[in-house]
Amino acid sequence: MKSRFTRIKEKIVDISVSDKQSIRDVLRQIDKGALGVALLMDSKTGIFKGLVTDGDVRRALIKGLDLDSPVSDIERPKTITASVTASSEEISGLFGEAVRVIPLLDGDRRVTDLAFFDTRVYLPVSEPNLGEKELKYVSECVLTGWVSSAGKYVTQFEQMFAQFCGTRYGISSSSGTTALHLALLSLGIGPGDEVIVPSFTFISTANAVVFTGATPIFVDSDIQTWNISAPEIEKAVTVRTKAIIPVHIYGHPADMAPILDIADRYNLAVVEDAAEAHGALYKGRKTGSLGDMGIFSFYGNKTITTGEGGMVVTDNKELADKIRILRDHGMDPQKRYHHSVLGYNYRMTNIQAALGVAQMERIDQIVQQKCTNAVFYNDALGEIPGITLPPQAEWAKNIYWLYSILIDEKSFGMSAGRLAARLKIKSIETRPLFPPVHQQPIYDTKQHLPVCEYLSSSGLSLPSSVNIDINEIGRIAWEIKNIRKKN
């Protein structure tokens, strides 16, 4: 278990000694358990009497005791204990510089478990969840030689993911960015055109627009959902506007109904950037299935991963056919090595798709675990002054790609950046929210978009992997509370 502490019940017998035994016996048990401590028990009742550390033994020998002296003669400080029913947060709060092992006692003061502080534990913001199926399918690719962009897993992954999204077609690509580029190219977007994008997103959303020769037009976000603001979209529409890219940020869907209404009234295409929103729902429908097309990323930190990789999903056969040609050097699918359009090498490999198939076989479980972890986080952090929890609109299902919070510097007592630095000392990785793209040096439009600027400066993403457990979430929450209290 990766946690602030680990429970090591099996060590109890190994490190137990009675108060009738000698210091020599204690040293044997300390060495046997490899934890630097022994549990001292009453020889008649078995009731726990306290911890004996290797430091206690060393000090006793310096004072004149010998190895055959009874362990009961050793002077020991009071042992910190906890009830076996204590919460993870309560146990975490008992550790300190001099407290690394906490016996957990039942109602009869008998040791039933141990909590051991592990300073080596590091909690990353995100890490992939890979298992035996992933290894099996990838190994099959290697053993059969089907390692490039041809192979059964590519087609299988595309079909599985399209079905998951509720769309007719899925076209895989080498990354989420190339998927977005392909989607825009298939719409004929190019020089002289404008595409409306949120400034509060990862920069690849805007970059894909620039790759086509078109111009990204940045608009502000909605403070409630953190997603692109529909009223701000309408203000930005011009005669040159050809498309809107709503980004389902951090796993929460954008409010698509007003966006689709604007698109319909102005004859604009809608390409959903759902790179962070695999399985998220908008009024019961999967993200990616609401606009003309949706794109997804399978980078290593995404909900499911192929290492690198992306996908376009759509119900439009004409667009799907165009994208397949564009991703494969512009090659005519009916005439090999015949190229009538400029294309790209944006294909996904069979090895990547093999990972994807294995991940798809348990995507519902992965998404549910992310949502469950968010519930634990909400319970643990919900009443801390100065913290705003992630958005959750009544019409949406947030899949919490990253569990991200906002820190109000005044009421919390410090900035998000300072909290991040303090958590880093505790081996807890965090990540700031995306900086506004309109302020990036390569764009720098001199706009003032207050909502996305506030979100970026106030936000912090906490460890969000499906590998994290409730004890680790309890540790993170305890550290945040403790940092605020001591500030």
Q: How far apart are CA 345 and CA 52, in angstroms?
A: 65
Burial of 112 (0-12, 13-18, 19+ CB in 10 A): middle
* Planar angle of CA 472, 474, 478, nearest 5 degrees: 120
> Which single residue is written with the structure tokens 């090591």?
8
CA dist 415 → 52, 206, 409 (Å): 43, 28, 5
Q: Nearest-CA neighbor of 171 among 22, 353, 392?
A: 353
For 203-218, letters b (16+ CB in 10 Å) and e give: ebbbbbbebbebebbb
Q: Long-range contacts made by residues 34-37, C-beta under 8 angstroms, separation at least 24?
A: 35/8, 35/11, 35/101, 35/114, 35/116, 36/100, 36/101, 37/101
Burial of 337 (0-12, 13-18, 19+ CB in 10 A): exposed
Q: What is the largest CA-CA distance in the chain?
A: 93
49 included as an active-site residue: no
Residue 417 is encoded by which pair of tokens? 């950046």
Among candidate residues 49, 286, 302, 426, the one labeled active-site is 302
Catalytic residues: 302
